[in-house]
A and B are shown apart, each in its own frame.
Chain A
Amino acid sequence: MGPLSTIEKLAILADAAKYDASCASSGTTRRNSTGGKGIGSTEGMGICHAYAPDGRCISLLKILLTNHCIFDCHYCINRKSSNVRRARFSPQEVVDLTLSFYRRNYIEGLFLSSGIVKSSNHTMEQMVEVARILREEHDFRGYIHLKTIPEADPELVHQAGLYADRVSINVELPTDAGLVRLAPDKDARQIAGAMGKVKSDIVETRDARKRFRHAPRFAPAGQSTQMIVGADAATDADIVSKASRLYDSFRLRRVYYSAFSPIPDASAVLPLKRPPLVREHRLYQSDWLMRFYGYQPAEVMQATEADGNLPLDIDPKLAWALKFRERFPVDVNRAGKEALLRVPGLGVRAVERILASRRHRTMRLDDVARLTVSIAKVRPFIVTADWRPVMLTDRADLRALLAPKTEQLELFAA
């Protein structure tokens, strides 16, 4: 076999990166290429340039620098004992691909991750080098997300943060026991230590920028992490509590969940059944409830069922409401924002509009309907001037009434 061409390497190293859940390119400083030599801009909101048939967006060129790895984590396709085809990009190749994709408006930037080759430090140096060439030699002002290697020298991780918009360190698994079992070469304390260091670097540089205008920026889009769901016995309650601790301890911007998916050449230690994809979705919804709806982690955990997992057929907000029926119905014309945010089917936007609208009118069911996606879902939980659901919240079959019917989506229907 001759040396691999760029396109062959791209196929291997993008394939290996498809288990990274994040593709976000938002939340960084606003920049553009006016007055510079290169290209690129960020305007706060990220842009998804395409969507893959798996429903996930493509915002960044998400690749691995190499899928060679000296580690042997069981859930990982790139682990040492796996028989996948290996490939390795040079930093310059990654830079060239990023720029030529960016010029054609295919991407917002680069999400670079890597298997560990030679040593953690060597790998981290190479990743930093990619970012350095992009920023310094090409004046690239697009988005860069580097997945750092927790075992690498903290100074190298610091370098990464100076070039990147976002850095991430994977916690990998929701429990330390799971990590010991499935990622024998990784160390939970080391991961936490690296996250803590990134957090303090972010805080310090923010402080410095308040005093010195030219202090360097450090990971302006913050840090994130990813954990694998369904590869160990951790319940949704375990996962939610782990996520909330991560948000609190390390001020993470996002925790991503990646449903353990069948990988070619998997290890026999992994469960044979993959978790339903909807489980991942329910976890994201619960994440949303905590970040935007004011739910406490303990309240999300109240929405779980006896086995500690969130129900799969209904969303966690509805699950919570069905368990706490005494809190409903909520009077749309009188209730405060917090109570309205608890109503299943009312989003943050709808609640804000209701609050603004009711200064001008007494809300009727039709008025609410104009502000929501589906009034059918909301109706059992609210009171309006012309509507009062007397018995509905007491009905035993309410859940069955509200659970969505299985949908059939046809791709090539007319």
Chain B
Amino acid sequence: MSAPFRDMRLPGAFGVTLPEPDDFEFWRDQARALVQRDVPPDRVAWIEPGGAGDLFAGGRRRLPSPGADAPPVRASRAFVQLAKTAICHSDPERFALLYRLLWRMQGSPRLLEDGADPEVRRLDEMARAVRRDIHKMRAFVRFRLVEGGDGGAGEHYVAWFEPEHHILRANAGFFVRRFANMTWSILTPRGSLHWDRAVLEEGPPAQRSDAPAGDPTEELWRRYYASIFNPARLKVGAMLKEMPRKYWKNMPEAALIPELVAGAQSRESQMVAAGTLEMGERPTSLSAIDKAIHACRMCPIGLLDNRAVMGEGPRDAALMIVGEQPGDQEDLAGRPFVGPAGQLLDRHLERAGIDRRSAYVTNAVKHFKFVQRGKRRLHQTPTAKEVDICRWWLEGERELVQPRLVLAMGASAARGMLGKTVSISKVRGAPHPLEDGSELWVTAHPSYLLRLDGPAREEQSRLFDADLAAVKERLEELT
């Protein structure tokens, strides 16, 4: 700063009225001239267009020309960048703040690096608020189709938006680049933009009533908004932080928010009721599981006129045999494998040299599924879902017994163990390692043998015996 200008300091205040609230070029020219004439910040009043100019009218002075040896005005590139953004802020103090910083910068050119300086901090905050508003406008502008077909030649899309700062002009390029081949208008209380696929025109401020009220696509969009939201994860605070309520009134989807929030809890509990089965903690003893399965109504089978049938056998059995589900006789007796299939199984086990009494014998599904035909109860195969639900109890038994080898008989039993449907013919005769280090073997269900006759039955009996023999052999290796 050179001495002669200090002596020439003029009395009274200067008033500078800007032609546009975001006119950086004009501000820069004026600010540069003021610095060159050594006019300190507290003697300049910056007035927005339509602002309180009268207050300073008396002090409005013409600036004398700078002397020939007026020093060049220094401003870092970072300052110019920041100022261009911050000047869009709606705070009437922004011009004065920028001038104070420019003034100080003449003595300390690297002032902007000092983020802890309160005025630098304020400028930074202003620029940040403007950038955020620019970003939110890009995000929350909602176009509505007013004429022509969607995407067609005569289309015209119009949006109403209420920016907080003077960002309309700064944001025009973004919308032109994005929607270059679309005819659109953006109306705001601070001005309007019109793009006809070739030329961008600026228009006067508009009112909300100038913009169209709706668009049929909004119904689709609202449905999308409501569906993509997960009611089990309500985080209203996080939503409000990024989408403050001031923007809501111009976003068609925002009208749904109160009911979505209010309904979230009941939707979640419905999801939980329909989904994650409310069985509480799993019992930790076989007798407690026995008690619990009698009360289990998690699938339709539990609602039939039947009783649960618990597995039986030693608590520390090395072999666990899993069937499909109790049948008519098992249901009556309350014990697994006592009917025709059970008796057939006993004979085959004996032949293989396996003592049934040393095995823990149970079923993939704990209740008898049937349809009533007159006095008879006809067996029904459980669905995959029913098997999956009952897996909860089967796993409980397996956790407690901890067998070294599990023999699953039939597709339902295999599903109860594996959680997926497998083909018996493809997986039988070989071990399938389980995650706890034990092994699963799969074979046919004895009731399948009962349904066959003649050579087919002989063939299947032979295969069944072979599977049992392999299990016996493997069991001896494991124990």
Q: Are B232's CB and A72's CB within 8 A?
A: no
Q: Which of B52-60, B276-284, B315-323, B352-360 contacts A (4 or more CB under 8 A)?
A: B276-284
Report the minimum CB–CB distance from B58 to chain A (whole Å): 38
Pick the contact of A262: B142, B257, B271, B279 (CB < 8 A): B271
Contact at B110–A360, with CB atoms within 8 Å? yes
| Chain A residues, Cβ within 8 Å of B274 | 264-265
Specify the chain A residue showing the minimal Cβ separation from B247: A50
Nearest-neighbour CB distance to chain A for B308, whole angstroms, equals: 15
Q: Is the CB of A33 within 8 A of B181?
A: yes
Contacts of A367 in B (CB 8 A): 116
CB contact list, A334-375 vs B, under 8 A: 353-354, 356-357, 359-361, 363, 367-368, 370-371
Residues of B within 8 A of A181 (CB): 419, 435
- Do B143 and A81 touch (CB < 8 A)? no
A6 within 8 A of partner (CB): yes
Which residues in window 139-183 of B have CB below 8 A to A? 139-145, 150-151, 157, 159, 174, 176-182
Give the residue of B177, B243, B254 whose beta carbon is less than 8 angstroms from that of A41. B177
B379 / chain A contacts, CB cutoff of 8 Å: none
Q: Is A18 an interface residue (CB 8 A)?
A: yes
B261 near A53 with CB under 8 A, answer yes
Chain B CB within 10 Å — which of A11, A37, A57, A268 has the most?
A268
Provide the residues of chain B in CB contact with A274, threshold 8 Å.
Answer: 232, 276
User: Chain A nearest CB: distance from B436 CB in Å?
Assistant: 10
A10 touches B220 (CB 8 A): yes
Does B275 have its Cβ within 8 Å of any Cβ on chain A?
Answer: yes
B177–A18 touching, CB < 8 Å: no
**B385 near A83: Cβ-Cβ < 8 Å:** yes
Contact A371 B116 (CB under 8 A): yes
Listed stretches A98-106, A200-208, A286-294; interface member: A98-106
Measured between alpha carbons, how far is A387 from B177 in the docked complex, in Å?
Answer: 51
A-side contacts of B181, CB under 8 Å: 33, 36-39
Instruction: Give A267 to B386 CA distance when docked, in angstroms.
Output: 10
B233 at the interface (CB under 8 A from A): yes
Cα(A41)–Cα(B280), bound, Å: 51
Complex Cα distance, B274 from A188, in Å, reads 30
**Residues of A close to B215: CB separation below 8 A:** 104
Q: How far apart are the CA atoms of A177 and B226 in the complex, in Å?
A: 35
> What chain A residues lie within 8 Å of B206 (beta carbons)?
none
**Is the CB–CB distance between A14 and B224 below 8 Å?**
yes
Query: Are A17 and B228 in contact, with the CB atoms below 8 A?
Result: yes
Residues of chain A with a CB closer than 8 A to B236's CB: 53, 55, 409, 411
Check A10/B227 contact, CB under 8 A, given A39-B182, A104-B157, A269-B419: yes
B220 surroundings in chain A (CB, below 8 A): 6-7, 10, 97, 100-101
Chain B nearest CB: distance from A288 CB in Å? Answer: 16
Residues of B near A100 (CB, < 8 A) are 150-151, 217, 220
Q: Which of B139, B159, B237 has the most CB atoms of chain A within a 10 A radius of its CB?
A: B139
A262-B227 CB under 8 A given contacts A7-B219, A55-B239, A268-B388: no
The reply to whether B225 and A58 form a contact with Cβ atoms under 8 Å apart is yes
User: Which residue of chain A has its CB nearest to the CB of B261?
Assistant: A53
- On whether the beta carbons of B276 and A266 are closer than 8 Å, the reply is yes
Stretch at the interface among B64-72, B81-89, B327-335, B389-397: B389-397
Name the residue on A nearest B389 (C-beta): A268
- Contact between B242 and A57, CB atoms less than 8 A apart: yes
B253 CB within 8 Å of chain A: yes
Q: Are B219 and A39 in contact (CB under 8 A)?
A: no
1/0 contact trace for B409-446 toward A, CB 8 Å?
Answer: 00000000011110000000000000100000000000
Partner of B388, one of A267, A354, A356: A267
**Interchain CB contact under 8 A, A105 and B280:** no
Interface residue? B221 (CB, 8 A): yes
- Cβ of B223 within 8 Å of any chain A Cβ, yes or no, is yes
Number of residues of chain A lying within 8 A (CB) of chain B: 86
B375 at the interface (CB under 8 A from A): no
Instruction: Check: B289 CB closer than 8 A to any chain A CB.
Output: no
Contact A34–B242 (Cβ < 8 Å): no
B227 & A14 in contact (Cβ 8 Å cutoff): yes
A86: Cβ under 8 A from any B Cβ:
no
Contact of B228 with A58 in the complex, beta carbons under 8 Å: yes
Residue of A10, A40, A409 near B223 (CB, 8 A) is A10
**Chain A residues positioned under 8 Å from B230 (CB to CB):** 18-19, 52, 54, 56, 261
- B121, B141, B223: the one contacting A11 at CB < 8 Å is B223
B299 smallest CB distance to A (angstroms)? 9
A180 is an interface residue with CB less than 8 A from chain B: yes
**Chain A CB within 10 A, most for which of B219, B228, B233, B260:** B228
Contact A269 B391 (CB under 8 A): yes
Q: Is A133 close to B, CB under 8 A?
A: no
Give the nearest-CB partner of A45 in chain B: B135
Residue of B nearest to A57 (CB): B242
Q: With a CB–CB cut-off of 8 A, which chain B residues contact A277?
A: 233, 235
Determine whether A145 belongs to the interface, using a CB cutoff of 8 Å to chain B: no
Given contacts A181-B435, A363-B116, A409-B237, contact A53 B177 (CB under 8 A): no
On whether the beta carbons of A53 and B239 are closer than 8 Å, the reply is yes
Within 8 A of A (CB), among B248-279: 251, 253-254, 257-258, 260-261, 264, 268, 270-272, 274-279
When chains A and B are docked, how far (Å) is the Cα of A105 from the Cα of B251? 11
A407 within 8 A of B: yes
For B231, B254, B261, B276, the residue with the greatest tally of chain A CB atoms inside 10 Å of its CB is B276
A104 with B143: CB separation less than 8 A:
yes
A99 in contact with B151 (CB, 8 Å): yes
Task: Name the distance in Å between A280's Cβ and chain B's nearest Cβ.
Answer: 9
- B409 to nearest A CB, angstroms? 19
B384 contacts the other chain (CB 8 A): yes
The residues in A between 6 and 49 inclusive whose CB is less than 8 angstroms from any CB of B are 6-7, 10-12, 14-15, 17-19, 32-41, 43, 47-49
Question: Are B261 and A262 interface neighbours, CB within 8 A?
Answer: no
Given the interface pairs A15-B227, A53-B260, A370-B121, the reply to whether A39 lies near B391 with Cβ below 8 Å is: no
B277: contacting residue among A54, A272, A370, CB under 8 A: A272
* B228–A185 touching, CB < 8 Å: no
Q: In the complex, A63 Cα to B242 Cα: how many Å? A: 23
Q: State whether B271 touches A264 (Cβ < 8 A).
A: yes
Whether a CB of chain A sits under 8 angstroms from the CB of B26 is no
- The answer to whether A55 and B237 touch (CB under 8 A), given A11-B227, A268-B389, is yes
Q: Is the CB of A55 within 8 A of B238?
A: yes
B421 and A72 within 8 A (CB): yes
Q: Are A51 and B242 in contact (CB under 8 A)?
A: yes
Contact assessment for A106 and B142 in the assembled complex, using a CB-CB cutoff below 8 Å: yes
Does A61 lie at the interface of the complex (its beta carbon under 8 Å from any beta carbon of B)? yes
> Which B residues are in CB contact (< 8 Å) with A412?
258
Q: Does B113 contact A (CB under 8 A)?
A: yes
A184 touches B (CB below 8 Å):
yes
**Which residues of chain A are near B19, meaning CB under 8 Å?**
none
A251, CB-defined interface residue at 8 Å: no
- Contact assessment for B142 and A81 in the assembled complex, using a CB-CB cutoff below 8 Å: no
Which residues from A are CB-within-8-Å of B113? Answer: 356-357, 359-360
Say yes or no: is A62 at the interface (Cβ < 8 Å to chain B).
Answer: yes
Given A81-B388, A99-B151: A53 and B178 within 8 A (CB)?
A: no
Query: Among the listed A36, A47, A104, which residue makes an inter-chain contact with B142, where contact means beta carbons less than 8 Å apart?
Result: A104
User: Which residues of A sit under 8 angstroms from B271, Cβ to Cβ?
Assistant: 262-264
- State whether the Cβ of A270 lies closer than 8 Å to any Cβ in chain B: yes
**B395 — which chain A residues lie within 8 A by C-beta?**
269
* Smallest beta-carbon distance A274→chain B, Å: 7
Pairs across A and B, CB under 8 Å, 15 listed:
A12-B227, A47-B139, A50-B251, A53-B264, A55-B234, A55-B237, A103-B151, A105-B179, A106-B142, A262-B232, A262-B268, A353-B115, A359-B113, A361-B116, A412-B258
A53-B260, A55-B235, A263-B276 known; 14 new pairs, CB 8 Å cut-off, are: A7-B220, A43-B174, A72-B419, A74-B388, A83-B385, A101-B221, A103-B145, A180-B435, A264-B275, A267-B419, A360-B108, A367-B116, A370-B116, A411-B258
What 10 A-B pairs have minimum CB-CB distances, sorted nearest first? A55-B238, A55-B235, A367-B116, A32-B177, A353-B115, A409-B237, A266-B275, A184-B420, A14-B227, A52-B229
